[in-house]
Amino acid sequence: MADYEEVTVLLPTLDEAATVADVVAGFFAEGFKHVLVIDGGSTDDTPTIASDAGATVVTQSGTGKGQAIREAVVEYIDTQYVLMADADATYRPEEAHRMIEPLLAGNVDHVIGNRFANMAPGSMTKLNFAGNQLVNRAFAFVHGRQLHDILSGYRAFTRDSFQRINPRVDGFGVETELAVGCVKHDLDTEVVPIHYDPRPNGSSTNLHPIRDGFVIMLTLYRLARTNNPLFYFGSVGMVSTIVGLMIGTYVGYRWFVVGVSHEVLAVVSAFGILFGVQLVMFGVLSDLIVTLHRETLRRIDERD
């Protein structure tokens, strides 16, 4: 068995009393030495149960899974590697070796467990499944890299790379931000196929699919500003241009065919087109800056 002295298993918890003991025990059984539970103020006995199972338990100072992960990695973890999982028994500790191996071999900075490789029936609702697919497609399109399952909660990374990404979001957008960070900082990332199991009976979700789905999509878009500015500005610019052209066509039709003029609509149309084209140009320029900046960073990295 590999030596896991430099690995901390990180489990964020919020009301996971039904499962946390098994999850903690599972990771110890696989040979991990440090299990850190960061609790979000559970109203059940999660912290006591986790601590009885042998984990180090701390309470996060803020709210949300993202804030919990950030606080844990920055304030409490001093090992070189972090293995992050949910405390809801949906990920298998037996698969931790495969998750951590690429890191220990020194090949990569960030490992993502791909739940879609082996998804047990009933582990994800239809809505969540569709939402995940949408987010993964949007990510691949906007950020230009296919990572298969960017929202996966089973991840392993070097502490160093986490600090380089420096995620800022507090809630369920944290996985998105980590994935975007991998592309932005050009980190070596590996996708490992894993199993995803249903939450056991008596355990309930903290995820609000609509609200959190919206937050995730917004995070994806917001982070495009520094990663793919052509999309960030260009998409809004295109919409504005198209709307302007459509209104313009209507105004033209009414003027030439019917003989009625619409001054206000004509102004709106002109504004939409001018604003849109300017935004697209701005996107092209920003894209240029980002590309050059990346090139500079790559050269600096090469020299170290």
Ligand X SMILES: Nc1nc2c(ncn2[C@@H]2O[C@H](COP(=O)(O)OP(=O)(O)OP(=O)(O)O)[C@@H](O)[C@H]2O)c(=O)[nH]1
Judged by the rule CB under 5 A, the positions of this chain that interact with Mg ion are 86, 88, 90
Q: Which two tokens stand for residue 65?
A: 């899974």
Is the CB of 56 or the CB of 206 nearer to ligand X?
Answer: 206
Pairing of strands 34-39, 189-196: unpaired
Query: What span, in angstroms and rounded, lies between the C-alpha atoms of 280 and 198?
Result: 45
177 contacts ligand X (rule: CB under 6 A): no
113 contacts ligand X (rule: CB under 6 A): no
205 contacts ligand X (rule: CB under 6 A): yes
Map the footprint of ligand X across residues 15-74, applying CB under 6 A.
16, 38-40, 60, 63-65, 68
Closest approach of Cβ 156 to ligand X, in Å?
A: 16
199 contacts ligand X (rule: CB under 6 A): yes
Map the footprint of ligand X across residues 68-107, applying CB under 6 A.
68, 86-88, 90
Query: What span, in angstroms and rounded, lies between the C-alpha atoms of 219 and 166?
Result: 14
Contact criterion met (CB below 8 Å) for 23 and 85: yes
Three-state SS letters, 243-260: HHHHHHHHHHHHHHHHCC
Is the CB of 30 or the CB of 86 nearer to ligand X?
Answer: 86
Is the CB of 40 or the CB of 272 nearer to ligand X?
Answer: 40
Closest approach of Cβ 291 to ligand X, in Å?
A: 34
Distance of CA 63 to the CA centre of its chain: 17
Question: How many residues make contact with ligand X (CB under 6 A)?
Answer: 21
66 to 40, 83, 120, 271: CA distances (angstroms): 11, 15, 26, 40
Contact criterion met (CB below 8 Å) for 66 and 171: yes
Binding region for ligand X (CB under 6 A): 12-14, 16, 38-40, 60, 63-65, 68, 86-88, 90, 153, 199, 205-207
